[in-house]
Structure 1
Amino acid sequence: MKISLGMVLALCLAGLQFVAVTFVVFSSFLTSEKVLLAHARDLLRDVGTNTIEHSKGFLKPARGAAELATRLAENEVIASDNFEQLEKLLFQQLQISPQFAGVFYGDETGNFVYVMRSDGPGPFRSKIVMWEDGQRTTDLIWRDDRYAIVEERADPTDTYDPRERLWYQTASEKLTSIWTDPYIFFTSQKPGITAASPVFDPFGGIRGVVGVDIGIDAISEFLSRLNVGDSGKALILNRNGDVIAHPNQELIRTQNTDGTFRFVNIAEIGDPVARAAFGHLDSTAEVSVEREVSSRFGLGDSTFVSTLMPVISEELPWTIAVYAPEADFTGEIKANRSQNVWIAASIALISGIFGLVLANYIHKPVRAFAVRSSLVSQGEVSASEPLPKTYRELERANETLVQAIAERKKSEAEFGRTFDLASRGMAQIQAKTGKLMRVNTKFADMLGYTNDEVLQLTAHDISHPDDPVAAFFFEDGGNTGSEYLHEKRLLRKDRSVIWVSENVIVIRDDAGNPLHAVVTVDDITERKASERKIQQLSWDLSHSARVNVMGQMATSLAHELNQPLLAITQNMDSALFNLQQSTCDIEELKTILQETDRQAHRAGDIIKALRGFVKKDGVEKAEFDFQELLEQTLQLVRSEAKEHGIHISTDAVDLDPVYGSRVQIAQVLVNLLRNAIEAIADSDVEERLVKLKAMNTDNGLMVDVLDTGPGFDPTSDLFEQFETTKEDGMGLGLSICRTIVESHGGKLWYQEDENGNSRFCFTLPALIPKSVPEIQNELSA
């Protein structure tokens, strides 16, 4: 749909107003947004700093735990086997250190004493694993603040072994006090870290390991109380990418296949925002941030800001990560921006209405000019009529336009007269669809239609179904040609067939797309009939010539052989008579036999000469292009094939040259092709096809002629002289063909393909370069 000039002016005026107001609104928004985002990053930095300071508070009890573990390792009670005293000692240490979650000791035999805080039935719980005589026992004891037993029971299902725990293995290996990375405690299933020290026997060997558990779940509780915007969160990552603290403690742990628990990695945490913001850290060997890193990212329809703080310290290799939705800081200004956009749209609408009124006033003379130009073009108004009041530029344009319209109408009138009065059939055909848009009377009469009837048809409707429609009419329009000249058949209204010579001129636009075609046709039906009669006469003469030649050969054979045979007969009678006499003259008998021998040789020479004529001995041989010969041969038989509705397909590319008699090889090709055509023409098979295939082989050239005719009687000898399957055949064609092929050093044979179709094949040996003397010697041989 095209827009008028007035509408364009109105839209331009309103659009300028809208763009100006929107520019002011967005520039203000971007400035405010930049300030608020900077404020958001400062807020996230403050949250991270606060979390770092709070986390450092856990460093002091961790150091105290390491010192306690060392002091306990030096205690004589730990070094003894009195586990009752050991339990009491650990109970006292846990009471005086409220920040500890538990104190424990494990030895090399698997014995284990663990005192921890409990939620009931007593405030403290002891777990004692003892091995005696190869038997393991596990006792659970709950005590009150005065060390009195509240409840006691055995746990036969417990399989805990301190020697398999990381804290035990690390302390035993390093032989010094250690504290572990955060992990999930086996007993309480809460997050924490462990400080442990080895206990040595008098000989310096490892006796066991004593340790202290410090819970860090209070950090997650602290994070849950932080206000990071409206819905932001802070979390803590260990150097291996594990999430050790999160406002939702349920998200930071997951169960292993053996029933134990571990921290989730940042790449698998159930917080999708945290995973999107910091999940890339899992791809590194160690999470270590040397300086503060701020970023902005999108998730779904929301945008978030995030900050990564540097590692707290060497002793606490933890990284604080904070994120918050950007909308928490810029939501109000975005809402204000939407309001301002609506205000700008309202101003633009008012400006557009005013501009439309103004544009209508400006456009009125232009519209009057356009209406007048249209009327002039249609011939409803004379070009000499005065112009309506308009602009000076339009007056000059009018003069040029009127002149162009007059020239165009003159050209159209001349073309119309030429089109209608032409002595040849003419039609204008629409692109792609092939619909007849305009025809002259000659074209309609040629097909037996009236002008109105033929305009209801397409090029496909009037074309013979076996003849292709010009590529211009194909729906894909892929052919880029502009002119076609070919002969084809058209269907008249009574469904009779006429032959026409069709000249198609394609009219295209500037982009090369077809618009329509002008088609000129001449009726050549009579010429085609004359050509067929001449061709039939040529075939009859050719056949008559072949019969005449064979008759002459038979007459010559009888005449030439009659004299020597008669002489032989008379000589033999004389010899017999001489032998019957009582006095046989040996010399006379010898003379008779010698004369008989001479006459016999004479007859043999006659037959040899006749055979040499049939074999065409002495025909000049030379190197020639077989592919060129093949194409010329097809020209000789293609019209005969088309007359019978037979299609000849060829498959011959890059063929090697051949040495031999070009005429004789052509005779073989023509004979085989005509035999194939005649076999199909005399039958009623549905598929009417002859396939000619030629290809290079290791030994020379192989030619294959296949037809879809009815085939041959398997009992007949096709290559026997005077053996034929045709009513008027002489049975010499295939025999002569085999003789020619074999004289060239090749082979001719017949076989059926997998579908039962007849297939004649012959080979020609590879070209052997020969000198002129060699060729002359061969010709004279």
Structure 2
Amino acid sequence: MKLGFRNAIALLFTLLLVATVTIVTLNGYLQARSGVLDLSTRVIDGAVSRMALRTNDIIQQANNSLELLALALQQHDLVSQQQTILPLLWRINNQSPLYQSVYLSDNQGNFLQARKHPKPATRFNPFSQGGDELWIYRDEHYQPLAHITKPRGYNPLERPWYQNTGNEVRPYWSDIYLYSSTKEPGITVSWPVLNSQGERHAVVAIDISLTSLNRFVGEVSFGEDAILLIVNTNDEVIAHPEQLPLAANRETSRLLQIDDLTQPWLQAAWQKMKQQLIIDDGYSQQPDDFLQTEAGRFFIHAKQITYGFDNEWYLFLKT
């Protein structure tokens, strides 16, 4: 079938019009997508800044406290000067509601601790001399309420916080774990105590609770259906909104995993983000993308908030 000149011109015009509309529509979609990504990125950047500030405050305060404590204890003997050292540990432990306990051990395994849970107490373990531990339960003013002796079963020299602390004068941070007393997630920071010859003769440490991070991610609002998490590269959920549904059959004896969340699309979103995280000299790109699932189409974004941990932490947003 032959087209007349006029029909050919009309067909060509129609094709050009369709192409123009397609290009304009695609350009508009790309600009809108870019705008959504840019807006969402700027919103989460604000949350990251607040989170980074809060995290840095926690880290810096603990580092400063341990550094000063290590300097103060350089010439102290734990056993003979326990009555001087324990009040100092008690005061530091009360500097922050996040601190669960402050403690130290010398190279002979003698151990001193000020703790808040399950009840406020001080603890003295004369490991090198044998005998029982002395626990003194105290009120908020450090006044003794009860003295209790317990069988000595704790060897600090075998604990990771002691063994992983080197001679270099700096803080040593643990991975996140569950406290045996409260079953809440926390981390431990330790610091070496050096003698006059520059040799490590003791280690001081602080246990820091991370439960307040749950409140933080629950307070930050990105919309009715948005979910903000803190997840590490080991797929452990460090912080989540308290109202987030969790699997009923999950193991409570270990840290919460991303697979313990009841929303499979949330697990898929994190795994997609994780695949895009490109590590380069300790720093990663901050990916964002759209995810299409049976539950709908979501914007997802991840941003690194720690540097130098074995399993780095990411603020992860789904909207």
TM-score by length of 1: 0.32
Cα distance in 2 for partners of 1:33, 1:190 equals: 44
Cα distance in 2 for partners of 1:275, 1:129 equals: 45
Q: Specify which of 268, 271, 276 is matched with residue 279 of structure 1.
A: 271
In the alignment, which residue of structure 1 is the partner of 2:138? Answer: 143
| 1:196–1:79 Cα change, 3 Å | farther
In the alignment, which residue of structure 1 is the partner of 2:113? Answer: 114
Using the TM superposition, give the Cα deviation of residue 250 of structure 1 relative to its aligned residue in structure 2, in angstroms: 9.3
2:121–2:136 CA contact under 8 A, matched in 1: yes
2:48–2:305 CA contact under 8 A, matched in 1: no
The aligned runs of 1:399-418 (5 Å cut-off) are: none
How big is each residue's C-alpha offset from its partner over 1:33-53, in whole Å with a ceiling of 9 and x where there is no partner?
984894376236413531342
Cα distance in 2 for partners of 1:175, 1:42 equals: 44
The aligned runs of 1:318-337 (5 Å cut-off) are: 318-324=313-319
2:193–2:204 CA contact under 8 A, matched in 1: yes
The aligned runs of 1:145-294 (5 Å cut-off) are: 145-156=140-151, 159-171=153-165, 173-184=166-177, 185-201=179-195, 204-248=198-242, 261=254, 263-266=255-258, 268-271=259-262, 272-279=264-271, 281=274, 290-294=284-288
How big is each residue's C-alpha offset from its partner over 1:345-367, in whole Å with a ceiling of 9 and x where there is no partner?
xxxxxxxxxxxxxxxxxxxxxxx
Q: Secondary structure at the match of 1:106?
A: strand
Cα distance in 2 for partners of 1:31, 1:285 equals: 30
The aligned runs of 1:564-603 (5 Å cut-off) are: none
| 1:159–1:133 Cα change, 3 Å | closer
In the alignment, which residue of structure 1 is the partner of 2:10? Answer: none
Using the TM superposition, give the Cα deviation of residue 218 of structure 1 relative to its aligned residue in structure 2, in angstroms: 1.4
In the alignment, which residue of structure 1 is the partner of 2:102? Answer: 103
| 1:84–1:250 Cα change, 3 Å | farther
In the alignment, which residue of structure 2 is the partner of 1:56? Answer: 53
| 1:36–1:165 Cα change, 3 Å | same
Using the TM superposition, give the Cα deviation of residue 32 of structure 1 relative to its aligned residue in structure 2, in angstroms: 8.6
Greater relative contact order (CA < 8 Å, ≥ 6 in sequence): 2
2:117–2:181 CA contact under 8 A, matched in 1: no
Using the TM superposition, give the Cα deviation of residue 306 of structure 1 relative to its aligned residue in structure 2, in angstroms: 0.5
Cα distance in 2 for partners of 1:141, 1:55 equals: 37
The aligned runs of 1:718-737 (5 Å cut-off) are: none
Q: Looking at secondary structure, tell me which structure has more helix per residue.
A: 1
Structure 1 residue ranges without an equivalent (≥5):
1-26, 325-781
In the alignment, which residue of structure 2 is the partner of 1:125? Answer: 121
Cα distance in 1 for partners of 2:76, 2:39 equals: 51
How big is each residue's C-alpha offset from its partner over 1:666-697, in whole Å with a ceiling of 9 and x where there is no partner?
xxxxxxxxxxxxxxxxxxxxxxxxxxxxxxxx
Q: Specify which of 64, 68, 72 is matched with residue 71 of structure 1.
A: 68
The aligned runs of 1:272-421 (5 Å cut-off) are: 272-279=264-271, 281=274, 290-309=284-303, 311-312=304-305, 314=307, 317-324=312-319
Using the TM superposition, give the Cα deviation of residue 321 of structure 1 relative to its aligned residue in structure 2, in angstroms: 1.0
Using the TM superposition, give the Cα deviation of residue 239 of structure 1 relative to its aligned residue in structure 2, in angstroms: 4.8
How big is each residue's C-alpha offset from its partner over 1:599-643, in whole Å with a ceiling of 9 and x where there is no partner?
xxxxxxxxxxxxxxxxxxxxxxxxxxxxxxxxxxxxxxxxxxxxx
How big is each residue's C-alpha offset from its partner over 1:212-250, in whole Å with a ceiling of 9 and x where there is no partner?
233332122110122232222111233554332222399
How big is each residue's C-alpha offset from its partner over 1:383-407, in whole Å with a ceiling of 9 and x where there is no partner?
xxxxxxxxxxxxxxxxxxxxxxxxx
The aligned runs of 1:3-18 (5 Å cut-off) are: none
The aligned runs of 1:732-771 (5 Å cut-off) are: none
Using the TM superposition, give the Cα deviation of residue 105 of structure 1 relative to its aligned residue in structure 2, in angstroms: 0.6
Cα distance in 2 for partners of 1:65, 1:251 equals: 32
Using the TM superposition, give the Cα deviation of residue 303 of structure 1 relative to its aligned residue in structure 2, in angstroms: 2.8
In the alignment, which residue of structure 2 is the partner of 1:406? Answer: none
| 1:275–1:196 Cα change, 3 Å | same
The aligned runs of 1:28-39 (5 Å cut-off) are: 35=32, 38-39=35-36
| 1:176–1:167 Cα change, 3 Å | farther
How big is each residue's C-alpha offset from its partner over 1:447-495, in whole Å with a ceiling of 9 and x where there is no partner?
xxxxxxxxxxxxxxxxxxxxxxxxxxxxxxxxxxxxxxxxxxxxxxxxx
Structure 2 residue ranges without an equivalent (≥5):
1-23
Structure with max Cα Rg: 1
For 2:170, give the aligned amino acid.
Answer: S
The aligned runs of 1:471-490 (5 Å cut-off) are: none
For 1:274, give the aligned amino acid.
Answer: L
Identity percentage over the alignment? 20
For 1:234, give the aligned amino acid.
Answer: L
1:236–1:245 CA contact under 8 A, matched in 2: yes
For 2:67, give the aligned amino acid.
Answer: T
Cα distance in 2 for partners of 1:67, 1:230 equals: 40
2:292–2:298 CA contact under 8 A, matched in 1: yes
2:278–2:285 CA contact under 8 A, matched in 1: no
Cα distance in 2 for partners of 1:105, 1:286 equals: 36
For 1:237, give the aligned amino acid.
Answer: V
| 1:229–1:285 Cα change, 3 Å | closer
Cα distance in 2 for partners of 1:102, 1:231 equals: 37
| 1:49–1:174 Cα change, 3 Å | farther
1:182–1:244 CA contact under 8 A, matched in 2: no
| 1:99–1:265 Cα change, 3 Å | closer
| 1:78–1:265 Cα change, 3 Å | farther
For 2:238, give the aligned amino acid.
Answer: I
| 1:204–1:37 Cα change, 3 Å | closer
Cα distance in 1 for partners of 2:48, 2:276 equals: 25
2:301–2:317 CA contact under 8 A, matched in 1: yes
The aligned runs of 1:553-572 (5 Å cut-off) are: none
How big is each residue's C-alpha offset from its partner over 1:249-268, in whole Å with a ceiling of 9 and x where there is no partner?
99699656xxxx4x3454x3
| 1:282–1:181 Cα change, 3 Å | farther
| 1:110–1:305 Cα change, 3 Å | same
| 1:273–1:165 Cα change, 3 Å | farther
Using the TM superposition, give the Cα deviation of residue 114 of structure 1 relative to its aligned residue in structure 2, in angstroms: 1.9
Q: Secondary structure at the match of 1:57?
A: helix
Q: Looking at secondary structure, tell me which structure has more strand per residue.
A: 2
For 1:300, give the aligned amino acid.
Answer: E
Using the TM superposition, give the Cα deviation of residue 103 of structure 1 relative to its aligned residue in structure 2, in angstroms: 1.4
